[in-house]
Amino acid sequence: MQLYNSLTRKKEEFIPIEKKKVRFYSCGQTVYEDAHIGNARTYSYWDVLVRYLRWRGYDVFWVQNFTDVGHLTDDADTGEDKIIKTAIAKDIQPMVLVEKQIRKFYEDMDKLNIQRADIYPRATGEIPEMIEFVKDLLAKEYAYEVNGTIYFDVTKFSNYGELSPTTYSEETVGARIAVNPEKKDPRDFALWIKAPEGHLMKWPSPWGMGYPGWHLECSVMSQKYLGTTLDIHAGGIDHLHLHHPNEIAQSEARTGQKFVNYWIHAAFLTVNGERMGKSKGNFILVRDLFKEFDPMVIRLFLVNSHYRKSVDFNNDAISQNQVLLDRIRTSLAALKQANGGKEKVLRESITRVTTDFIQAMDDDLNTVGAIQAIMQFVKSVNNAFDNERHLLAEASDLIVTLMGILGIDLHITDVQGVIPLHSLISLIIVLRNDLRNIKQFKLADEIRSKLIDIGIQLEDKPEGTIWKFKS
Amino acid sequence: MQLYNSLTRKKEEFIPIEKKKVRFYSCGQTVYEDAHIGNARTYSYWDVLVRYLRWRGYDVFWVQNFTDVGHLTDDADTGEDKIIKTAIAKDIQPMVLVEKQIRKFYEDMDKLNIQRADIYPRATGEIPEMIEFVKDLLAKEYAYEVNGTIYFDVTKFSNYGELSPTTYSEETVGARIAVNPEKKDPRDFALWIKAPEGHLMKWPSPWGMGYPGWHLECSVMSQKYLGTTLDIHAGGIDHLHLHHPNEIAQSEARTGQKFVNYWIHAAFLTVNGERMGKSKGNFILVRDLFKEFDPMVIRLFLVNSHYRKSVDFNNDAISQNQVLLDRIRTSLAALKQANGGKEKVLRESITRVTTDFIQAMDDDLNTVGAIQAIMQFVKSVNNAFDNERHLLAEASDLIVTLMGILGIDLHITDVQGVIPLHSLISLIIVLRNDLRNIKQFKLADEIRSKLIDIGIQLEDKPEGTIWKFKS
């Protein structure tokens, strides 16, 4: 498989450290507010990557963190802690906010069929490890203390900027010097931050009461569970220029070994052509989308563009994906009912879609190509209901499998009891018509009134009988 | 409200430290295996207590922990860590096990409508606070170090045994001396335990690499979020004789203040008259129950006995609660359809059930009395469909509210389609019998085969026709 490695700025063959094992870390949510559609897009791709690698036989161990302390409103080590700020505004303890937001995060991701990582470490759960990390860097003189805050000294680390050579423009350097006179170099960043009087989340350390720097957290949480060198580290493109270079610097300074072999970054999502922003009123939360759209249609939209290209969310885009999903579901329903025949031409289509799917996915996770291959296959299937029954079954399973790798669960509506309910009522409606046909009007009328008792209302319309829940 | 306080061994008027505020901590799950029905019973009662207090206008702040390190297989500070032992047996990292089990715990509790606590601290997330706690006890000479392990010195704490004077019999004292010669007094317990070489979960401390003692964890996790003195501390009766006395000793030794004002303990659950045990083959997991029973029937069973009395789980007990729940649901359905009249006698019943419910619950959470009051009210309602419509609506809302305080959500089945599904199939079974009676055998047979297509199997038994999902 080829992956575009942000570190080398080119597509490279993916070769894990240990054969068929993948150590994968993705930057997770800062749990102070609900997940928005941009978050969901990014996490959807990491889910697809994990599902695909596992399908190809890799043993993937996936860690994704929750940031519940230390992520400041301003990246230049100033500003307020996002969790604390929000908790104070809501007049609750920070950990009550964290608890609620993590629960909502899981609810949203579960609905989008984004599978869970193997471990979700929380920054507050790894404080001792973070302190040890900082002690090591001080001992190796990669860090220095100023008034209880520890900074990483980027000038000591020769490879700083390997991932992102253009991190600091003249302009930002100027701004940062002005902001923080404690730093020797404007690019230096805080590993451990002295807690001001009254600060809500803080821990004892050799340098007094403080809290970890946001960049430090990811290095600790990833390496604790995945080891010194990770195969893949994923994150949003916004982390390419500061968070990830800092992760590399502190990790490699400490261990003297490569931190990550493949860095992958997901692009942004825009809404009706504009970048999302709270002030713009176009900030779309995942949970709000569920009020309007089938979660699986949203999920298909989220992965139906290349992860390194930005995509626009708009009603047309959703409609187009709704059409695709309907086409697939219709085909699956037809496959289920088809009697089959003696043709065998589907064998060839099955081979082709598998090859095309793999070829697309192997090309830097080209999910668009993968979906096109599936749609092409659906077209073939729709002309092949005269094929042998086992081929029809195989085709059906394959569609479900391939869509499943993209995170679109085609089982969902079957298992939830929605279908049985609908089917049962349809069966009763047919029976009622049968009874009328054989002039058993009393029994037929009883059906109607008994359904009302259960809470279901039948309505006879010219085009047939429909049902709805009694309001 | 009166609560039986294990500390004073009598019912006492509950008076919170701060007016109308309740600081509540309940001992939570050690997350190495799935929750069993005994766990579910205990947690159901704490949920009821919180719901009831909130309904009475208290602002309850509820903390329940997850133990993810330090709970040993043997209470005498020996044996293996339950998490690590299980993780090794499953060949996964301990935190992967923890992640999975916490997820399953929430799934089970959610299904039983046991609401979430405000914060679920994890032991591994509070290590720095635990180390500080131990440092304080050493400084105050309530603890001593032996080879990197820190023990609490019970002889220094004059009130040891206040909660449970009979904690140590001659017999257990003898056994404990034999087990651990490091202890000055056999009742001493480990606050911090030296990690042997190769131990999987350990942290640096002033006494070398180690991990926290299980008793210590609860004192830290409760006081961190609730303050020095808690209003109520709840737990299973099995913790009365060791875990809770130890919590009191270390907490009060450190602060010099009372740790908990009200200690409440839930009794055991037996299965078909025997205590549950894995070796006995009668160990019932919550998630297995859902395969057979409506979660709300289980929940009603779980709270339909007094929390301080042990209860037996058996099919009869479930059936009895099924009958009660059916009676309530039928009454609610009838209330919904009733046209009403001009009578007003329900006003009196509404006042009475409210009074009776409160009186029962105020008497040490007498849920049995509360349920009896509700059943009495349901009876009155069933004879009062000629009452004014607004009274019928009020009665309906009140039943839902009061049952809701006991954790039985009467909305659930309406929205989930479970009841409609069951009712629809029952309706179809009746129809099939009607058709046979009028000798329409072909139509009757069609029903059976059409149901099989939907995934539902009918079985004609001597006692009538039953249905099940096709396996």
pLDDT of residue B251: 98
Residue in chain B lying closest to A449 (CA):
B427
| Total length of chain A | 471
- Count of A-B CB contacts under 8 Å: 107
Q: Determine whether B214 is exposed, middle or buried from the number of CB atoms within 10 Å of its CB (0-12, 13-18, 19+).
A: buried
% of chain A with per-residue pLDDT over 90? 74
pLDDT of residue B314: 94
For chain B, what percentages of helix, strand and coil (3-state, to nearest 5) are there? 50, 20, 30
Give the CATH superfamily of B2-266. HUPs (3.40.50.620)
- In the chain, the amino acid numbered B422 is H
Residue from B99, B100, B115 whose CB has the most chain A CBs within 10 Å, to mutate = B99
Instruction: Calculate the CA dihedral of residues A397, A402, A404, A409 and round it to 10 degrees.
Output: -60
Residue from B454, B457, B468 whose CB has the most chain A CBs within 10 Å, to mutate = B454
Pair A363, A369: CB distance under 8 Å = yes
- Is the confidence at residue A166, as pLDDT, over 80? no
In 3D space, the residue among B205, B251, B38, B215 whose CA is nearest the CA of residue B123 turns out to be B215
pLDDT of residue B399: 98
Number of helices and strands (H, E) in chain B? Answer: 16, 17
User: H/E element holding A236?
Assistant: strand A230-236
For B199-234, the pLDDT digits (tens) are 999 999 999 999 999 999 999 999 999 999 999 999
CB–CB of A116 and B124 under 8 A?
no
C-alpha angle B19/B24/B26, rounded to 5°?
165
Closest chain A C-alpha to B270 CA, distance in angstroms? 33
DSSP reduced 3-state for B376? helix
Closest chain B C-alpha to A170 CA, distance in angstroms? 41
For chain A, what percentages of helix, strand and coil (3-state, to nearest 5) are there? 50, 20, 30
Rounded to the nearest integer, the mean pLDDT of chain B is: 91
**Cβ-Cβ contacts under 8 Å, B95 against chain A:** 119, 121, 225
Q: Per mean pLDDT, which range of A124-128, A440-444, B41-45, B335-339 is the poorest?
A: B335-339
pLDDT of residue B176: 52
Mean pLDDT of B385-412: 94
CB–CB of A120 and B99 under 8 A?
yes
CB–CB of A417 and B418 under 8 A?
yes
Pair B222, B233: CB distance under 8 Å = yes
Residue reference for tokens 């992760």: A247
CB–CB of B119 and A95 under 8 A?
yes
* Banded pLDDT at B8 (limits 50, 70, 90): very high
Q: Give the separation between CA B323 and CA A188, rounded to whole angstroms.
A: 69
- Listing DSSP states for A15-37 in one string gives --SSTTEEEEEEEEEETTSPPBH
Residue in chain B lying closest to A437 (CA):
B443
Residue from A107, A424, A451 whose CB has the most chain B CBs within 10 Å, to mutate = A424
pLDDT of residue A461: 80
For A10-31, the pLDDT digits (tens) are 999 999 999 999 999 999 999 9
% of chain B with per-residue pLDDT over 90? 74
- Is the confidence at residue B75, as pLDDT, over 90? no
Q: Per mean pLDDT, which range of A105-114, A157-166, A409-418, B406-415 is the poorest?
A: A409-418
User: H/E element holding B131?
Assistant: helix B127-139
CB–CB of A95 and B428 under 8 A?
no
pLDDT of residue B417: 41
The first and second tokens of residue B88, run together, are: 């090794």
Mean pLDDT of B403-431: 74
Residues of A with CB under 8 A from a CB of B: 93, 95-96, 99, 103, 116, 118-122, 124-125, 127-129, 132, 203-204, 225, 417-421, 423-425, 427-428, 430-431, 434-435, 438, 440, 443, 447, 450-451, 453-456
* Banded pLDDT at B304 (limits 50, 70, 90): very high
- Is the confidence at residue A420, as pLDDT, over 80? no
Residue in chain B lying closest to A226 (CA):
B93
* Banded pLDDT at B159 (limits 50, 70, 90): confident
Q: How far is CA B310 from CA A241, A431, B273, B296, in A?
A: 61, 51, 10, 20
Least CB–CB distance from A420: residue in B95, B337, B421: B421
In 3D space, the residue among A304, A288, A284 whose CA is nearest the CA of residue A107 turns out to be A288
CA atoms within 13 A on the CB side of B110: 8
% of chain A with per-residue pLDDT over 70? 94
The first and second tokens of residue A215, run together, are: 């960049």
For B165-186, the pLDDT digits (tens) are 765 555 555 555 556 889 999 8
In 3D space, the residue among A195, A200, A196, A197 whose CA is nearest the CA of residue A210 turns out to be A195
- Is the confidence at residue B367, as pLDDT, over 90? yes
Strand ranges of the sheet holding A311-313, from the earlier edge strand across to the other edge = A274-275, A269-271, A311-313
For B435-450, the pLDDT digits (tens) are 999 998 999 999 998 8
CATH number (3.30.70.2860, 1.10.730.10, 3.30.1370.100, 1.10.1740.110) of A274-414 reads 1.10.730.10
pLDDT of residue A462: 79
Least CB–CB distance from A96: residue in B118, B419, B431: B118
Q: Determine whether B283 is exposed, middle or buried from the number of CB atoms within 10 Å of its CB (0-12, 13-18, 19+).
A: middle
The first and second tokens of residue B446, run together, are: 């069609």
- Is the confidence at residue A5, as pLDDT, over 90? yes
Task: Give the 3-state secondary structure of A285-296.
Answer: EHHHHCCCCCHH
Residue in chain A lying closest to B427 (CA):
A450
Least CB–CB distance from B128: residue in A203, A428, A456: A203
Instruction: Calculate the CA dihedral of residues A89, A92, A93, A95 and round it to 10 degrees.
Output: -90
The first and second tokens of residue B39, run together, are: 């766990």
* Banded pLDDT at A417 (limits 50, 70, 90): very low
C-alpha angle B77/B81/B82, rounded to 5°?
120
Q: Per mean pLDDT, which range of A52-56, B294-298, B369-373 is the poorest?
A: B294-298
Q: Give the separation between CA B399 and CA B402, rounded to whole angstroms.
A: 5
Instruction: Calculate the CA dihedral of residues B216, B218, B224, B228 and round it to 10 degrees.
Output: -80
- Is the confidence at residue B151, as pLDDT, over 90? yes
Q: Where are the domains of chain B?
A: 2-266, 274-415, 417-469
pLDDT of residue A259: 98
- Is the confidence at residue B35, as pLDDT, over 60? yes
User: H/E element holding A255?
Assistant: helix A243-255
Closest chain A C-alpha to B317 CA, distance in angstroms? 27
pLDDT of residue B369: 98
Closest chain A C-alpha to B425 CA, distance in angstroms? 8
**Cβ-Cβ contacts under 8 Å, A121 against chain B:** 95
Q: Give the separation between CA B237 and CA B220, rounded to whole angstroms.
A: 21
Q: How far is CA B452 from CA B378, B445, B469, in A?
A: 38, 11, 9
Residue A230, phi-psi category: left (phi > 0), alpha (psi -120 to 50), beta (remainder): beta
For A250-300, the pLDDT digits (tens) are 999 999 999 999 999 999 999 999 988 888 888 899 999 998 888 999 999
CB–CB of B428 and A425 under 8 A?
no
CB–CB of A128 and B128 under 8 A?
yes
DSSP reduced 3-state for B385? coil
CA atoms within 13 A on the CB side of A17: 17
User: H/E element holding B288?
Assistant: helix B286-289
% of chain B with per-residue pLDDT over 70? 94
- The sign of the CA dihedral A72, A78, A84, A85 is negative
- Is the confidence at residue A316, as pLDDT, over 60? yes
Q: Give the domain B274-415 fold.
A: Isoleucyl-tRNA Synthetase; Domain 1 (1.10.730)
- Is the confidence at residue A40, as pLDDT, over 90? yes
Give the helix ranges, DSSP H, for A91-198: 94-111, 127-139, 170-179
pLDDT of residue B74: 81
Pair A423, A429: CB distance under 8 Å = no
CB–CB of A128 and B132 under 8 A?
no
Q: Give the separation between CA A322 and CA A329, rounded to whole angstroms.
A: 10
Mean pLDDT of B362-388: 96
Rounded to the nearest integer, the mean pLDDT of chain A is: 91
DSSP type of residue B396: H
**Cβ-Cβ contacts under 8 Å, A127 against chain B:** 127-128
Least CB–CB distance from B119: residue in A96, A427, A435: A96
Distance of CA A17 to the CA centre of its chain: 24
